[in-house]
Amino acid sequence: MQPVALKFRLCSPSHIQDILNSVAPSPHGHPVKKTCAGHDIILGEYRMKTKTLIAAGIAALLAGPVSAETIGVSIANFDDNGLTIMRNGMTAHLETLEGVDLQMEDAQEDVAKQLDQINNFVASGVDAIIVNAVDTDATEAMSNAAKAAGIPLVYVNRQPGNMATLPDGQAFVASNEVESGTLAAFRMCQDLRAAGKSGGASAYMLMGRLSNQAAVQRSKDFHDVIGMDMCNFITLIDEQTANWSRDEAQDMMSNWIASGEPFDAVFGNNDEMAIGAIQAMKASGIDMDDVVVGGVDATPDALVSMQAGEMDVTVFQDLAGQGAGSIDTAVKLAKGEKVDKTVFIPFKLVTPENVKDFM
């Protein structure tokens, strides 16, 4: 009988056993090919008289270097500045790792498109999936698809709506949003007091996508802070969603300015919206020294704006660190290692006093 080559992709021991159970001698001496998730590894040639030599070869291979991990990544929006920093953190961290490949897709803020991407990752047999959710209320379907396929899933940056029931083999890597809005809002309160406005101040709030847990939590944080005895001199005039968008925030702020209602502060759920508000105020001739503006993320544009004396407060969200952390978590899960359900990367308050530390 001619030698028969067995070619397969190294994956879990149970899947390898399935391969062994399915291998039968080729009556005509033709090559036999078997596959499973991962990268192709040529085990070698064996005479198919028994499965013993195949098992011995696999055992030897398992004792050596493992195959590369392929991770499917779905990002809510490639055009978002903050998420671009996170993506860059992923690709930079990837260069420090051996045997890890990323398949990165842009969901373009489309829930249906993102669900299709998850299903495609499952169908292609990736070793793990990372998701930055478009809609955090739509994550249960993603979790179910990954769980059914036995593929680890890591949510990054945006907390999944099914966090309380996240299955085994799934995790969340981000920063604690309770800190973000609270740090920004409390510093804005202090700045308004320092400006002599503790007798009464008015504010607007620009919210992110209302389907996003971060927007909901950061908005709640602001409400909680201005409800404190120390900060209850602040009255919220209006709050509207600008969908994390600089352009939408600029239009919204222009409308508020046109209403003629005096205001002392503007809080954006993210820096992009805060910058949009600043652009609208500058276009209307408002002196930025008279308004306290806060955001979240500490993006490069926000730090430049702060140095220019326009933005007063932001909160550093280590987006690059979140991206790197999501890859590390996905790799550990793919290898069958246990990880915490939640991996938090701390927020840090950024003000004109320490902005240089973050440039």
Is 355 inside a domain boundary? no
Is 359 inside a domain boundary? no
Give the chain's domain count: 3
Q: Do residues 174 and 156 make contact, with C-beta atoms less than 8 angstroms apart?
A: yes
Are 185 and 311 contained in the same domain? yes
For residue 97, the tally of other CB atoms under 10 A from its CB is 14
pLDDT over 90 (residue 280):
yes
Are 191 and 287 contained in the same domain? yes
The SS3 of residue 160 is coil
Q: How far is CA 151 from CA 1, 76, 107, 113, 307, in A?
A: 39, 20, 20, 19, 45
**pLDDT tier at 24 (50, 70, 90 boundaries)?**
very low
What whole-number distance in Å separates Cα of residue 170 and Cα of residue 149?
13
**pLDDT tier at 55 (50, 70, 90 boundaries)?**
very low
| CATH, residue 99 | 3.40.50.2300
pLDDT at 116: 97
**pLDDT tier at 279 (50, 70, 90 boundaries)?**
very high
Are 107 and 140 contained in the same domain? yes
What whole-number distance in Å separates Cα of residue 327 and Cα of residue 254?
41
Is 357 inside a domain boundary? no
Are 112 and 210 contained in the same domain? no
Are 132 and 196 contained in the same domain? no
What whole-number distance in Å separates Cα of residue 247 and Cα of residue 263?
21
pLDDT at 28: 44
The SS3 of residue 269 is coil
Here the tokens at position 179 are 């800190």
Amino acid at 144: N
Are 312 and 323 contained in the same domain? no
**Residue 73: alpha-carbon gap to chain centroid:** 10
What whole-number distance in Å separates Cα of residue 215 and Cα of residue 204?
15
pLDDT over 90 (residue 45):
no
**pLDDT tier at 44 (50, 70, 90 boundaries)?**
very low
Is 21 inside a domain boundary? yes
Is 358 inside a domain boundary? no
Are 88 and 209 contained in the same domain? no
pLDDT at 201: 98
For residue 92, the tally of other CB atoms under 10 A from its CB is 12
Question: Considering only CA atoms, which of 347, 295, 345 is closest in space to residue 316?
Answer: 347
What whole-number distance in Å separates Cα of residue 75 and Cα of residue 88?
12
Is 356 inside a domain boundary? no
Q: Which residue has the higher pLDDT, 134 or 22?
A: 134
Are 79 and 135 contained in the same domain? yes
| DSSP 8-state symbol, 304 | H
**pLDDT tier at 142 (50, 70, 90 boundaries)?**
very high
pLDDT over 70 (residue 48):
no
Here the tokens at position 236 are 């919220």
Q: How far is CA 108 from CA 34, 122, 132, 270, 327, in A?
A: 36, 20, 11, 18, 21
Contacts of 8 (CB under 8 A, 6+ apart): 16, 19, 33, 34, 35, 36, 40, 41, 43
Sign of CA dihedral 12, 14, 15, 19: positive
Here the tokens at position 315 are 């909160």
Domain span at 149:
69-174+319-345
Which of these three, 38, 63, 88, is where a domain ends? 63
Q: Name the residue with tokens 């966090």.
A: 163
% of residues, the chain, pLDDT over 90: 77
pLDDT at 157: 94
Question: Mean pLDDT, to the nearest integer, of 209-222?
Answer: 93
Are 144 and 265 contained in the same domain? no
Is 165 inside a domain boundary? yes
Are 77 and 15 contained in the same domain? no
pTM comes to 0.67
Are 197 and 89 contained in the same domain? no
Q: What is the pLDDT of residues 220-239, one digit of tens each?
A: 999 999 999 999 999 999 99
What whole-number distance in Å separates Cα of residue 139 and Cα of residue 136?
6
Mean predicted lDDT score pLDDT of the chain: 86
Here the tokens at position 58 are 């696999």
